[in-house]
Chain A
Amino acid sequence: MTDVKFIIRTADQTRKAEVEMQRSSIGADIVQAAVDNWALPSDTDYALVNVTTGRSLVPTEMLDENFVQAGDVLEVQPVLVAGHA
């Protein structure tokens, strides 16, 4: 399986890195790596968006060529749940 090199960053853009991962990696793997490496709050859930293509990545979806191209920017966004209190 080939690798793909892309940019990953947080939604507030305070953290950013170029990474190379196997195309067999899934969205959930990338989010977990970001949470671990950047010590993001572990009591928050995160979604992954390819901001280059404007498409969210399904957590169980692999980094298929149709979804992620070399050089694309992927953003880790918090899943927002508040709004009532």
Chain B
Amino acid sequence: MDRQSRYQRHSLIDWFSQATVRDARICVVGAGAVGNEVLKCLALLGAGSIDVYDFDRIEVHNLTRSVLFRVTDIGRNKAECAAARVRDLDPNVVITAYTGNILRDLDLASFSKYSAVICCVDNFEARLRLNLICKLWQIDLINTGVDSRNAVVDVFPFSQQSAQSVACYECTLPPSVYQRLSQRYSCGGLKRAAFVEKRIPTTVITASLAGSLAASKALRLGPGGALRSDRIFLDSISGISRPSELPVRVDCPVCSQFPAPFRKRPVRDLQAELARLRAEKGNSDITLPESLILSFQCKKCDAGEGHDAPLFWRASEHDSGLANCRACGAEGAVEIQITDRLPLDTLTKSGVRSLPLPFALAASETGTDVLVLEKESECD
């Protein structure tokens, strides 16, 4: 079917630009309840290019909230299944499914191409990471959230030239969120092995409200565009909608640490770049986007690793069980060195050729010059 016939009704809407929708390159993170609704809307509107990320598999209880999934899809990867259904809805839409963990396997070289990222995940950790990356890469971020009654959509227009005055997701967070995160993680970023995640029940009603509004915001439908961060809170029972401006928070952990403007510098040779930074900035710290395990050692039997050369293991891939010694069996006896900041001297002396992270940040003393180091493979 030709495009003109398919989108004929859209062409009758004076504020709707099919060309703008077709040119959009949208990243959807999470293909669950809200992600399904976002993808459905993007497909039916004729969005040109979509990348969808999800490592999770479809379970039977997903079927009550996921318009793109069928009983026969149980066990399939959510992103792959959703992408196939989007192609069924509109073959003109170019959609690619990524089945890895975006936070671990993120390809920052391709990340820059997106006109917007829509966050449809169910945890604060992923939201915090996407917020930081979108802010640094100056890509509009649309955050969604639902419960059984309410839906919320936040718009963070990081692509705006006035991005310094654009609030980020962390500007809005109450301190209780960080307290809750600290309960989930022990020293420096290891997940607590015995922590039981709370499950929040939702329905397709709130998911569809959040999903349709998020798709509209990401495509910037309608006149004008967002110049400041704002939130729309929708009550699905009363029908009340509460829009609110999100102000920049002076002591925001992200905005205060990484004030715009900042420079991105692709790095092909990490060692050479670290040496150059060492010469330019002295032994200042490199900030990492997440914690790394440098070493561990048992206080009882001295067994351990990483003392000769730092391990650089991602803390998010380990849990507090690491504190139990695998050599002598002593519980809680292992001391673990974890950090999210590393002195340049540590990195240059360790001879590190690569970090297991998509980027790192080096801030000058003025705090206004942040360098983003991309992995070699992402420079091509």
- Are the chains A and B members of one assembly? yes
Whether B150 pairs with A11 at a CB distance below 8 angstroms is yes
Stretch of B98-106, B230-238, B363-371 at the chain-chain interface: B230-238
Asked whether, in the complex, the Cβ of A85 is within 8 Å of the Cβ of B35, the reply is no
The count of chain B contact residues (Cβ–Cβ below 8 Å) is 50
Contact A82 B147, CB 8 Å, known A45-B180, A47-B174: yes
Task: From the candidates B123, B147, B174, B207, name the one contacting A59 in the complex (CB within 8 A).
Answer: B174
B33 at the A/B interface (Cβ < 8 Å)?
A: yes
Alpha-carbon distance between A82 and B207 when the two chains are bound, in angstroms: 9
B124 to chain A, nearest CB (A): 6
Residue of B nearest to A27 (CB): B174
B228-246, CB under 8 A of A: which get 1 and which 0?
0001010101100011111
Asked if B290 CB lies within 8 Å of chain A CBs, one says: no
* Chain A interface bracket (under 10, 10 to 19, 20 to 34, 35 or more): 20 to 34
Contact B245 A55 (CB under 8 A): yes
Residue A81 at the B interface, CB < 8 A?
yes
Q: Within the assembled complex, what's the spacing in Å between the Cα atoms of A27 and B174? A: 9
| Residues of B128-175 whose CB lies within 8 A of A | 144-147, 149-152, 171-175
A59 to B123, CA, bound (A): 20
Query: Taking chain B's interface residues, is the majority helix, strand, or loop, or is none over half, making it mixed?
Result: mixed
Q: Once the chains are docked, how many angstroms separate the CA of A50 from the CA of B121?
A: 27
With the chains together, A77 CA to B61 CA distance in Å? 27
Closest chain B residue to A82 by CB distance? B200
Most buried by B among A46, A55, A56, A59: A56
Per-residue CB proximity of A44-83 to B under 8 Å, as 1/0? 0111011100111011110000000000000101111111
* Pairwise interchain contact B176-A46, C-beta atoms closer than 8 A: yes
B126 nearest in chain A by CB position: A84
Q: Is B247 a contact of A55 with CB atoms below 8 Å?
A: yes
A28 near B174: Cβ-Cβ < 8 Å? yes
Residue B62 is within 8 A (CB to CB) of chain A in the complex: yes
B174, B233, B243 interface centre (most CB from chain A within 10 Å): B174
